[in-house]
Structure 1
């Protein structure tokens, strides 16, 4: 079990490389990676700490605006909800880490240590501090006692309170008695990477990334995942006429090709190899506006960061993505790839039409073969009557068959040729996608406008106000920085 202290993962970006490595370690199935509940609470608190002050700043800005207006300004600001923001960060970090319990007993013992200023708590000038450090310490000891088969690597750079692992001060030496052989201290994240992974050379990693990501199965997953892209503010792509077009969503699954793989980082985690890479994908397909109305065929480049393994049973994870943008028309390799995608889309449409015609012709031949033996020897007026009856019978049979064939053709063409948006969405829902760790939905114009207004209201143009703005660097206690 790898257990992190707050200082080792403080303000950890959920989409950053450190978080990627932690996910790799957990997903490998060979390691457990956790934080005590006390650490989770500290991480969430450090992310939310400025929210109340910023909220009050917005209220003051609105109040000042009201003073100079002869009318009541129209503004909507949701009530201050600190717990909602804390829950957001608890969930975000709970997805990255396993959370081990900090029991009531651990909390009580921790603050008893602080009251006595005994390690890992301490006395600073005329006060004691370190109750949270002590609660984290007792959380680890309780985990070791309850899981006798586990060895714990505790990652902390707070050596002044926890020591370096070779020698523990009183009374920590008594706390750890009979458990010391199962606890190892690591001082930072680099030591985690060094101990639990072996870096793969850049060339080997890049070759492995290209081979996997160029596969048809991954391209198909990217195409299905792209159906989740949507924006009421609009994306920009390249239309078939060579001009840029605004679009909001795909009306059918686009054709996809990998353009580039860069910044590949690979590490072996025991017998498994995991990679992160920045990729650019060229997409081409029918797109629509915010109302779902067909605009035309659009080409765009979709940048994304992916986490992946070379194991057959692992689905690549989309970690982060940027908005799609038009391809560079001066990039000759990109334009050649786009022409290939256009030809592929045209071939699919032509193939669907051939299937529709084949279905109709096959139905006609089947009816002729079934009716011919019964009509072959009839030459009299009765035979003519029989042929007329058979023709009417054939019409009754053939008409629904033809309708079915036409419907089959329409269904086959829907994903490429027709803006049958709901049908395309239903089809996409049933297809395998990338494992998505990012929100593909973009906010509406109204949502972005509200964000800009709030941000602008919370700021001030005066040097005095900027000087009074609180520093974003977390430094409220010794535990964070040590």
Structure 2
């Protein structure tokens, strides 16, 4: 498995998150935006142990499969009430399977957080701790449990050992095994001291975030933000995000045609999306996050803004896709962009959508000026 590498130098603080503080966090949560904003700095790292990534992806897959199975059974039962066996089998509509669903979650986790690898030593020691019933593993009746918790803790401990100058905030709701009285359990605290590191335990993600950041009004004007969003590095980042998020999805986009009256847009569902050009035409909902200063840093200011984007590319019509070729397409999409001191990233987006009346003319001009023969260029 690969490891995210947002930081080159040693960070001043590392937020390490347990599975349980992220397990119920939806994609639309504003907390993802804050995590991305913090990780855009050079002084703070937000990470999860690789063991947590495994647990999170397993949980997302099982949740989806449970809902999918229930929906399939309900659809079949509804079909049976309306039709007889002579009418043929029920045709379940095209819905993404659990693999596609899990891949989207994995992209979000890897793109938002650093992944700390599970070392062989930590994996072996975790099993040994469970066998010995040693914290955070414990007895469970006549057997033992907690090897995964032990693997997570040992990853935290290794991070503390490898980053002695960094303060590590470990956020976990599992206070029974990791904490006591609101702090780190003494048995685990002694391990941190022996490793020469610093670990502070908190039970909630919000408590960890409050230690390193505050939210405030944006200090940049709309014109300044729009100029940053139209920079080449930001354009490439938005393109990368759209390609990774919607390349295999059903999207609502317009086939583009040229008539005597100009450019025309015909809206139908599309598949196999490929976006080649985008234009950022507006921005809104600006917010700034102030990363608190430390003894060695004056702090950083991170900006978060919604960018309205016109996208051009090609796709296949989902209704008549068998044997159909690719066609030029266009759509609008609103993406949430995090602008750091030296980096830009996309935190989230809505689904591709129709143009607003004021956007359609901009899209037509963008399409016609994108090449000498745009209809051929985007096929």
The bucket for the TM-score relative to the shorter chain is 0.5 to 0.7
Residue 335 of structure 2 is aligned to residue 304 of structure 1: yes
| Cα distance change of structure 1 residues 74 and 276 upon mapping to structure 2, 3 Å threshold | same
SS in 1 for 2:194: coil
**In structure 2, what is the equivalent of residue 191 of structure 1?**
207
Q: How does 1:439-454 map to 2 (within 5 A)?
A: none
| Cα distance change of structure 1 residues 148 and 82 upon mapping to structure 2, 3 Å threshold | same
Q: Does the CA contact (< 8 Å) of 1:279 and 1:304 recur in 2? A: yes
1:321 is matched with which residue: 331, 344, 350? 350
**In structure 1, what is the equivalent of residue 225 of structure 2?**
213
> How big is the shift at 1:267?
0.8
Residue 306 of structure 2 is aligned to residue 278 of structure 1: yes
| Cα distance change of structure 1 residues 83 and 293 upon mapping to structure 2, 3 Å threshold | closer
**In structure 2, what is the equivalent of residue 43 of structure 1?**
56
Residue 172 of structure 2 is aligned to residue 156 of structure 1: yes
SS in 1 for 2:24: coil
Cα distance in 2, alignment partners of residues 284 and 109 from structure 1: 50
SS in 2 for 1:119: coil
Residue 43 of structure 2 is aligned to residue 26 of structure 1: no
CA RMSD between the two structures? 5.1
Is the strand fraction higher in 1 or 2? 2
**In structure 2, what is the equivalent of residue 420 of structure 1?**
374
Ranges in structure 2 where 5+ consecutive residues have no aligned partner: 1-13, 294-298, 318-324
Cα distance in 2, alignment partners of residues 2 and 136 from structure 1: 13
SS in 2 for 1:176: helix
| Cα distance change of structure 1 residues 285 and 73 upon mapping to structure 2, 3 Å threshold | closer
With 158-167 and 218-227 compared, the bigger mean Cα shift is at: 218-227
**In structure 1, what is the equivalent of residue 29 of structure 2?**
16
Q: How does 1:211-290 map to 2 (within 5 A)?
A: 211-215=223-227, 218=230, 233-235=252-254, 245-247=265-267, 257-258=281-282, 261-262=284-285, 264-269=286-291, 270=293, 271-280=299-308
| Cα distance change of structure 1 residues 325 and 51 upon mapping to structure 2, 3 Å threshold | closer
Cα distance in 2, alignment partners of residues 235 and 101 from structure 1: 43
- Max Rg structure: 1
**In structure 2, what is the equivalent of residue 373 of structure 1?**
none
Cα distance in 2, alignment partners of residues 77 and 288 from structure 1: 20
Q: How does 1:86-105 map to 2 (within 5 A)?
A: 89-105=105-121
1:204-224 deviation per Cα after TM superposition (whole angstroms, max 9, x unaligned): x0x515132332871886699
Residue 182 of structure 2 is aligned to residue 139 of structure 1: no
| Cα distance change of structure 1 residues 92 and 314 upon mapping to structure 2, 3 Å threshold | closer
With 86-95 and 213-222 compared, the bigger mean Cα shift is at: 213-222
SS in 1 for 2:115: strand
**In structure 1, what is the equivalent of residue 85 of structure 2?**
69
Name the TM-score, length of structure 2 as normaliser: 0.65
Ranges in structure 1 where 5+ consecutive residues have no aligned partner: 329-333, 349-412, 426-482
| Cα distance change of structure 1 residues 289 and 212 upon mapping to structure 2, 3 Å threshold | farther
Cα distance in 2, alignment partners of residues 418 and 255 from structure 1: 18
Task: Count how many residue pairs are aligned between Structure 1 and Structure 2.
Answer: 335
| Cα distance change of structure 1 residues 114 and 287 upon mapping to structure 2, 3 Å threshold | closer
1:253-290 deviation per Cα after TM superposition (whole angstroms, max 9, x unaligned): 687642x512x321123543212223446x69999996
SS in 1 for 2:135: coil
| Cα distance change of structure 1 residues 302 and 89 upon mapping to structure 2, 3 Å threshold | closer
| Cα distance change of structure 1 residues 13 and 180 upon mapping to structure 2, 3 Å threshold | farther
1:288-321 deviation per Cα after TM superposition (whole angstroms, max 9, x unaligned): 99677789xx9x8653322224x4x544637313
1:404-428 deviation per Cα after TM superposition (whole angstroms, max 9, x unaligned): xxxxxxxxx9636864334468xxx
Is the helix fraction higher in 1 or 2? 1
1:3-46 deviation per Cα after TM superposition (whole angstroms, max 9, x unaligned): 11112222334553222222222222222222112211111121
Name the TM-score, length of structure 1 as normaliser: 0.53
Cα distance in 2, alignment partners of residues 275 and 241 from structure 1: 41
| Cα distance change of structure 1 residues 257 and 70 upon mapping to structure 2, 3 Å threshold | closer
Q: Does the CA contact (< 8 Å) of 1:223 and 1:255 recur in 2? A: no
